[in-house]
A and B are shown apart, each in its own frame.
Chain A
């Protein structure tokens, strides 16, 4: 029997993977993908609780998050493309235009 706890463990594992990806990788695209991972971990969490509490609110939030994730991916990729055209790199350490 798969309980809510299983879902939460999976979600926590996925979220941790995302965080580690964001912290450690130097490629912006991979950082972006890691952020997607974190978003989806949250989604799993929401759907799990929705299932447990027999409430549709969590699923509605999940759908919202999917939409936001899509928009975020589009905007993020656009920024990366523009950045790449200027700097010819996608290394995140090169992205420091706003430092003093």
Chain B
């Protein structure tokens, strides 16, 4: 377990090798091998570390490794007047939450790497190595984010995945739409990062540390801000702004659907294993803070359910297979935030994990379909692919049933847990969530219907291989084994991943919730427990206030099963009823989609005509992009123009003015030089020349003259000598 820092480092190393050497020198085979080998090693290490973690007692499942100091002790003033020391180590923490995350990231990341080998085989050599370098880098940063034991290390990963999303979405950078989408993702994320950074500043100035455990313990000792909007509420709200950017929630979700411009495995990676889960993970990581800020929790829950609902309605009418999946991701992330918002952190994290399985599966299946259709993404051009690609069909069906919440597939357990916990909190939000679940089942089965059932509506292809050389399209075909094997593995995962969280009502132990619970509580580590022995020490207070928080305010139940959960427990029959309802909702959605899109496709057209206004609004995604374009983007551009004018007139004016001043003073100095300094020198020369007129007469050039003068001189001196002596 002391080697957990190697887990992120290995993919980082792969990225370095592929990025520095690979792009120039490696063959496709070598580049793919390097990337896959580092991922496999990271996966094995993660499995080993996780196994060791399981071997520890439930209370002690937390292991921190400080590899090296990063920033050593800068004194900074805190808000309470004292001076704190800002020191950050390169620290990594393995606990149940990060343990689950590294398994998801490395496991699904590895499968996506394997899949990419097949999917990207048509790329040129250098671009292929570049692709794998980016992919490895992405995983590297995500693992940093997940394993970091303080906010700043997490922030390194946080920014890193933002960078990598930009690089990978814009991977086909020759395509304008792809590079635009990359920029959009990056810039929208920047807005969220602002919230995260400011939140981080506020955390440091409040607590004097950025270490997760220390912050959680300190926050646990603070009173719950149920009445007034205090520091914790502000901190969590700012952190949540960061989370909305990274995890594509209202109002910052617009980048995610555009991110479909990247290669499909990248979409799978962004949507399932990395990036979008970062926001959910971050909220879960700071569960103690959020638990103490009920107002933020309400915001989180409302934003989550609104995002889930809005994205699902848009998903109903999209025709691009990847866009449907993208909106479904936004919607599912909304579910996760809903779970976080009602205090069901473990349920949110559980849904994160199951979603990682079935969404990676769905994306890779859609990639397989797109691969088979030679790049076609419009579902209106597909249909009846079931008979051409049976493996993809079956695996995708598993994924669809999982996301629709059909038992016993994984999505059922996690989504039902969220719905159940929401029902306990707020019936209205629960109602919206159930409708959203209905729509989820509907649009997913619509996708299946349009893609795999019905009649083939795509372009005709040439039978036989006589015509055309390499790359000619011979109709839909099953994908190569490097693509279908990951699909099968993921399908198995999507089918059984839910069994770790079978709820108590069905006779299961809800193992995952008990496993994850310690990550969401304020709790002293073993070393700190000794310190806290003095009266009023952190752990006792923290535990007490947490329990009090759970008891007195219904919106923030503790994630452990005591507290709020127990306070509002409903009967076994009620829970079964809710469960039955969510299954029913899934089945109704599927049957409706089947009826409309397979049995009688004309119904869909009739509906679209009758509700043409609504249909147009949905097809255009509520005009949110246009709205942002008209307000934020053009506002920014107008502001930039204003600033440019200021720049041009004042800054450039000042620069030009000082330039002109320099030229003028140089000219002046030139005059002084020419007429005064040179004049003086010339004057001296002239005076000397004129005054030498007399003396040069002596210089006759006649030697005998000189001799005569010399003689007279001698005579004179001798005479003077003789006479005066």
A27 to B348, CA, bound (A): 126
Query: Which of B699, B700, B701, B704 is in CB contact (< 8 Å) with A23?
Result: B704
A35 to B699, CA, bound (A): 23
Which residues on B sit within 8 Å (CB–CB) of A99?
699-701
A57 to B527, CA, bound (A): 111
Contact B701 A98 (CB under 8 A): yes
Which residues on A sit within 8 Å (CB–CB) of B702?
92-93, 96
A19 to B708, CA, bound (A): 9
Chain A nearest CB: distance from B197 CB in Å?
85
Contact A92 B704 (CB under 8 A): yes
Digitize A16-29: 1 where CB-to-B-CB distance is under 8 Å, 0 elsewhere: 00010011100000
Whether A70 sits at the interface, judged by CB under 8 Å, is no
Chain A nearest CB: distance from B164 CB in Å?
87
Query: Which of A19, A24, A31, A96 is in CB contact (< 8 Å) with B701?
Result: A96
Which residues on B sit within 8 Å (CB–CB) of A22?
704, 707
Digitize A49-82: 1 where CB-to-B-CB distance is under 8 Å, 0 elsewhere: 0000000000000000000000000000000000
Contact A100 B699 (CB under 8 A): yes
Closest to A26 in B: B704
Digitize B165-195: 1 where CB-to-A-CB distance is under 8 Å, 0 elsewhere: 0000000000000000000000000000000
A80 to B180, CA, bound (A): 95
Which residues on A sit within 8 Å (CB–CB) of B701?
95-99
Contact A19 B703 (CB under 8 A): no
Chain B nearest CB: distance from A93 CB in Å?
6
Contact B711 A23 (CB under 8 A): yes
What's the count of A-B pairs with C-beta under 8 Å?
26
Contact A23 B703 (CB under 8 A): no
Closest to B707 in A: A22
Contact A23 B696 (CB under 8 A): no
Which residues on A sit within 8 Å (CB–CB) of B699?
98-100
**Restricting to B687-705, which residues have a CB under 8 Å from any CB of A?**
696, 699-704
Closest to B692 in A: A100
Which residues on B sit within 8 Å (CB–CB) of A100?
696, 699
Which residues on A sit within 8 Å (CB–CB) of B708?
23
A99 to B352, CA, bound (A): 108
Which residues on B sit within 8 Å (CB–CB) of A19?
711
Which residues on B sit within 8 Å (CB–CB) of A96?
700-702
**Restricting to A1-57, which residues have a CB under 8 Å from any CB of B?**
19, 22-24, 31
Chain A residues bordering chain B, tally (CB within 8 A) = 13
Which residues on A sit within 8 Å (CB–CB) of B711?
19, 23
Contact A95 B703 (CB under 8 A): yes
A23 to B701, CA, bound (A): 14
A19 to B715, CA, bound (A): 13
Which residues on B sit within 8 Å (CB–CB) of A97?
701
Closest to B700 in A: A99
Which residues on A sit within 8 Å (CB–CB) of B707?
22-23
Closest to B697 in A: A100
A31 to B696, CA, bound (A): 26
A82 to B677, CA, bound (A): 46
Which residues on A sit within 8 Å (CB–CB) of B700?
96, 99
A23 to B711, CA, bound (A): 10
**Restricting to B664-719, which residues have a CB under 8 Å from any CB of A?**
696, 699-704, 707-708, 711
Closest to A92 in B: B703
A92 to B705, CA, bound (A): 11
A8 to B630, CA, bound (A): 126
Which residues on B sit within 8 Å (CB–CB) of A98?
699, 701
A34 to B701, CA, bound (A): 20
Q: Which of A22, A95, A100 has the most CB of B within 10 A?
A: A100
Chain B nearest CB: distance from A99 CB in Å?
3
Chain B nearest CB: distance from A94 CB in Å?
10
Closest to A96 in B: B701
Which residues on B sit within 8 Å (CB–CB) of A95?
701, 703
Closest to B711 in A: A19
Chain A nearest CB: distance from B8 CB in Å?
91
A100 to B700, CA, bound (A): 8
Which residues on A sit within 8 Å (CB–CB) of B703?
31, 92, 95
A22 to B702, CA, bound (A): 12
Chain A nearest CB: distance from B96 CB in Å?
107
A23 to B707, CA, bound (A): 7
**Restricting to B367-391, which residues have a CB under 8 Å from any CB of A?**
none
Which residues on A sit within 8 Å (CB–CB) of B704?
22-24, 92
Chain B nearest CB: distance from A86 CB in Å?
16
A24 to B703, CA, bound (A): 11
A23 to B703, CA, bound (A): 9
A24 to B705, CA, bound (A): 10
Chain B nearest CB: distance from A28 CB in Å?
9
A95 to B702, CA, bound (A): 7
A97 to B700, CA, bound (A): 10
Digitize B606-618: 1 where CB-to-A-CB distance is under 8 Å, 0 elsewhere: 0000000000000
A38 to B672, CA, bound (A): 62
Knowing that A23-B708, A95-B701 are A-B contacts, what are 18 other residue pairs whose CB atoms are under 8 Å apart, sorted by A's residue number? A22-B704, A22-B707, A23-B704, A23-B711, A24-B704, A31-B703, A92-B703, A93-B702, A95-B703, A96-B700, A96-B702, A97-B701, A98-B699, A98-B701, A99-B699, A99-B700, A100-B696, A100-B699
List 6 A-B residue pairs with CB atoms under 8 Å apart, sorted by A's residue number: A19-B711, A22-B707, A23-B707, A93-B702, A96-B701, A99-B699
Instruction: Give the 10 A-B residue pairs with the shortest CB-CB distance, closest first.
Output: A96-B701, A99-B701, A100-B696, A100-B699, A99-B699, A92-B703, A22-B707, A23-B704, A23-B708, A95-B703
